Structure 1
């Protein structure tokens, strides 16, 4: 694949009985959640949507002075993963190989996976309407890492991001909220609590079947800062050619979103409330000051129930990868770093035997034969 391609209302923070976060069981208040990107009309009147209550990027950031310093290397939540992965002798992640080269406005880089899950009882979605929810898995790497061949060791730092709107925003007119469903997750947690299918019993409908998550793409990503804004930029490495499914959910060969984190001390936009707020430590919470939204920092995404605004960017990664005035001599432009990471990941994934589905699941240390194939057509 070619590379160049005025009063705050405090939200309740009551814990569940076991004190855990929302996890996979938490749902948004979907009574007012649109089913698709289009706005419905009833009796000739425009129906209010979530987008009507969400600020524009300019409104979101205030004066931009609350931006937190970039977080260092993350090394939390391993939970014994190393013992579970003793069969992985070498990691494809070579830390320190690019020290001093990565520009400072790349706050984080890593591997990104895109999944969809069908509605209850629908194992193979035949249209966007059959999708219950789309997901992103972010797998951070060391900022100075270079990728070699093979799989990467499980650092237990993956994040599962839920996209309730089912499709990704593709332009500045598309503004909707995503949330962190799992953080500091090991591959075993992702396999057991996310990827796998499950059955549950209800009083009214009996046994209901939740289908397994289906992969639709894999690639590389970077969270970048362009001053008062943060961006989530990505480049797809698998599949090599985007199919109908990828295009329908808004994926591009390379794309980006403006991302900003919601201050949980303020009431959420209509229809987006979660049962529990993120439990930020004082240092993180203080970074919001009195602003309702701040430019997303990687550490925000390390807390379950963090809600962040995704705003589509029709210009691809151009704005997200702009070099900054304070860039030091010897550092590459952000676009150069992303392109090198994409080339490395493309080569790495080709070294994993099998088709695209085999490579993605092998990369997540999961047996592909037990789960749905990568879907490119409806």
Structure 2
């Protein structure tokens, strides 16, 4: 359905669009469960961002031979994995080639602006230009353990899809960045759970991999943290966090970030309205998620707004 349309609602919006693209949400039920009926049944919440255009058609990403992209070994549920964060660099024309980020959220929802919740931690698990890598990350798995015997990890299930923007806000004052998205599926009248709200905005901060974590957000092990190139790492200085500017920060595996709930009145505060195309839930062919990744697990949550 494409990357949607952004409409200025006043002549002087204080935002600059850094990146446009598609956003997809998935959840994975806990081991030995094929479906979830509540957040307690969920093992992981995933976000996939597919960058499609922006203020620069060419973005920088990690070298394709580094990190999980290079090893082709996907293990989404093991935060203690020994896989190193991505390093090196490669240029990708996002208007001509897929650029996909597979993101793992530390919680099973997104920050709720109505509740003034604490920041939510997440990290980039995989960055790739190969759609098959994302499909493999979403698949189920059979494996054996020494203590519990044979185990079954169910496939991830599609939870929502839409369009997103990464925005630079108040560029002439105290600049910060936002992730804004608008859902196309499930239909708004059927969405029953987070993150199936039709529209959402959060402030995004990138964590300095050379600074230690905090008692609240310990973060990844040192060997799994991103290895940013010097021109990106230099933007932190001695600070623990920095704005996600440019979005290239998100193109390195092991990139850690915080999402902070922001006002849900996007049009009023930002002077920008994000328009998404409508999709007939009876026609799965209208879903970019299904067309791109297939039905890895059941797509019922995507079209009907239910867990199971």
Q: For 2:255, which of 283, 306, 318 is the aligned residue?
A: 306
- Residue equivalent to 1:293: 241
After TM superposition, the structure 1 = structure 2 runs for residues 128-167 of structure 1, keeping only pairs within 5 Å, are 128-143=39-54, 155-167=97-109
Bigger fraction of residues in strand: 2
Unaligned residue ranges in structure 1 (runs of 5+): 1-90, 94-101, 146-151, 324-333
Q: Deviations over 1:272-309 (max 9, x none)?
A: 33132101111110111111111112111000011101
- Residue equivalent to 2:291: 363
Q: Secondary structure at the match of 1:294?
A: strand
After TM superposition, the structure 1 = structure 2 runs for residues 191-270 of structure 1, keeping only pairs within 5 Å, are 191-192=135-136, 194-227=137-170, 228-241=175-188, 243=190, 246-270=191-215
Unaligned residue ranges in structure 2 (runs of 5+): 4-12, 57-93
After TM superposition, the structure 1 = structure 2 runs for residues 1-378 of structure 1, keeping only pairs within 5 Å, are 105-143=16-54, 155-171=97-113, 172-192=116-136, 194-227=137-170, 228-241=175-188, 243=190, 246-270=191-215, 271-275=217-221, 276-297=224-245, 298-318=247-267, 322-323=270-271, 334-335=272-273, 338-339=274-275, 342-343=276-277, 346=278, 355-356=283-284, 359-364=287-292, 366-368=293-295, 371-375=297-301, 376-378=305-307
User: Aligned equivalents of 1:181 and 1:221: distance in 2?
Assistant: 19
Q: How many angstroms does 1:317 deviate by? A: 2.4
Q: How many angstroms does 1:355 deviate by? A: 3.5
Alpha carbons of 1:316 and 1:198: their partners in 2 closer, same or farther (altered >3 Å)? farther
Q: How many angstroms does 1:316 deviate by? A: 4.0
User: Aligned equivalents of 1:92 and 1:281: distance in 2?
Assistant: 31
Q: Secondary structure at the match of 1:166?
A: coil
User: Aligned equivalents of 2:241 and 2:294: distance in 1?
Assistant: 40
Please tell me whether the aligned partners of residues 15 and 169 of structure 2 are also in contact (alpha carbons under 8 angstroms).
no
Q: How many angstroms does 1:92 deviate by? A: 6.6
Q: What's the TM-score once normalised by structure 1's chain length?
A: 0.60
The structure with more radius of gyration: 1
Q: Deviations over 1:111-145 (max 9, x none)?
A: 00111111111110011100111111100112389
Please tell me whether the aligned partners of residues 155 and 186 of structure 1 are also in contact (alpha carbons under 8 angstroms).
no
Q: Deviations over 1:328-373 (max 9, x none)?
A: xxxxxx42xx32xx23xx3xx55xx964487244431x443x5312
Please tell me whether the aligned partners of residues 137 and 159 of structure 1 are also in contact (alpha carbons under 8 angstroms).
yes
Bigger fraction of residues in helix: 1
User: Aligned equivalents of 2:244 and 2:2: distance in 1?
Assistant: 28
What is the RMSD of the two structures over their aligned residues, measured on CA atoms?
2.9
Please tell me whether the aligned partners of residues 23 and 161 of structure 2 are also in contact (alpha carbons under 8 angstroms).
yes
Q: What's the TM-score once normalised by structure 2's chain length?
A: 0.72
